Amino acid sequence: MKQARSLRIRIFLIENGIIIAFILLVVALTLSSEFFLTGPNIRNVLRQASINGLLAIGMTFVILTAGIDLSVGSVLAFGGMIAAIFASSSLGEQYPLYVALPMGLAAGTVLGMVNGSLVAFFRVPPFVVTLGMLSIARGLTLISSDGMPVSRLSPEYIYVGQGMLAGIPVPVLIFFGVLGLAWLLLYQTPFGRYVYAVGGNEEAARISGVNTRMVKFTVYAISGCLAALGGIILSARTTAGLPQAGVAYELDAIAAVVIGGTSLAGGQGRLFGTLIGVLIIAVVNNGLDLLGVSAYYQLTFKGAIIVAAVLLDSMRQR
């Protein structure tokens, strides 16, 4: 009886440890800093979380198929730069938002489709493909801007990153809107079931009639599109397209997904867990800043969080 109770407690802690950890983290930071649990700071945390959240949603789709996308930081920079170029006077004309936004999204989606094509149809390992795209997308960003920031963006474009609607930052509304659409796609459509099937057992899914190659191709396209959307929000928030934007952002995205319980082996994970993981990363970054912790120590701390999350995933698998 005691062993059974102990096992149930252990399973409960493993399955819900991420939520417990988030609550404890919020409580600890609230007690440590009087500025943490204030309206302006909470809005700032959510605004910061929105960009990483978009990357993490796309990364969740990819990792569920047992893949990985190391290029999202560079794709973010490229998509944001292309949109910023159209939203500024760099081309001799300042295009409206309904032109700049699709151009940026298309740029990221195309790079994601290249990743997906190489992984799905040419069977190149995702690590190799996306590592190469990390450099390619960064190079394209520098080429498109001559290595210089692109500023003088239109006010309607800047509103995407800095605006408020009903007291809520626009980036936060965009993030939760995308999260809702992703939830519908993953849990209410056959495609979502195919994503889990491919990650769980690709060969069995293929024999069952699932077009596994198209599923893989699509998840990388989704990841590229959402990375570009994150880049658009970032460039609008900083009022400039920056060539160095998004450096190492892929680490935070992967960390959020793994912390949220999505297995790197594929086939297991939840968007709700990714949301909690994104919030934990944002709260940790914000809390360490409020406490005056050096950026060097912050990198070390986040690395330790990733290792702990992978260890927890291993325990969950067992």
Query: In this predicted model, what pLDDT tens digit does every residue of 147-200 receive, in sequence order?
Result: 999 999 999 999 999 999 988 999 999 999 999 999 999 999 999 999 999 999
CA 62-179-252 angle, 5° bins: 55
Burial string for 252-271 (b: 16+ CB within 10 Å, else e) reads bbbbbbbbbbbbbebbbbbb
Return the pLDDT at 236: 97
Return the pLDDT at 302: 75
Longest CA–CA separation in the chain, Å: 76
pLDDT above 90: residue 294: no
Return the pLDDT at 52: 97
> CA–CA separation, 199 vs 204, rounded Å?
10
Return the pLDDT at 118: 98
Domain boundaries, the chain: 38-247
> CA–CA separation, 190 vs 210, rounded Å?
10
Quick check: 310 and 264 in contact, CB under 8 A? yes
Return the pLDDT at 1: 64
Quick check: 180 and 246 in contact, CB under 8 A? no
pLDDT above 80: residue 308: no
> CA–CA separation, 23 vs 17, rounded Å?
10
pLDDT above 70: residue 317: no
Quick check: 240 and 153 in contact, CB under 8 A? yes
Strand partners, 169: 164
> CA–CA separation, 249 vs 233, rounded Å?
14
For range 72-79, the mean pLDDT: 98
For range 58-72, the mean pLDDT: 97
Q: What is the pTM of this model?
A: 0.94
Looking at 28-32, 90-94, 177-181, 211-215, which range is the least confident one?
90-94
Give the pLDDT band (50/70/90) at residue 33. Answer: confident
pLDDT above 70: residue 58: yes
Return the pLDDT at 307: 79
SS3 string, the chain, reads CHHHHHHHHHHHHHHHHHHHHHHHHHHHHHHHCCCCCCHHHHHHHHHHHHHHHHHHHHHHHHHHCCCCCCCHHHHHHHHHHHHHHHHCCCCCCCCCHHHHHHHHHHHHHHHHHHHHHHHHCCCCCHHHHHHHHHHHHHHHHHHHHCCCCECCCCHHHHHHHHCEECCEEHHHHHHHHHHHHHHHHHHCCHHHHHHHHHHHCHHHHHHCCCCHHHHHHHHHHHHHHHHHHHHHHHHHHHCCECCCCCCCHHHHHHHHHHHCCCCCCCCCCCHHHHHHHHHHHHHHHHHHHHCCCCHHHHHHHHHHHHHHHHHHHHHHHC
pLDDT digits (tens, 9 = 90+) for 233-280: 999 999 999 999 999 899 899 989 988 889 888 999 999 999 999 999
Higher pLDDT, 297 or 208: 208
CA 48-66-217 angle, 5° bins: 85
For range 47-68, the mean pLDDT: 97
Average pLDDT value over all residues in the chain: 92
Return the pLDDT at 13: 65
Return the pLDDT at 264: 87
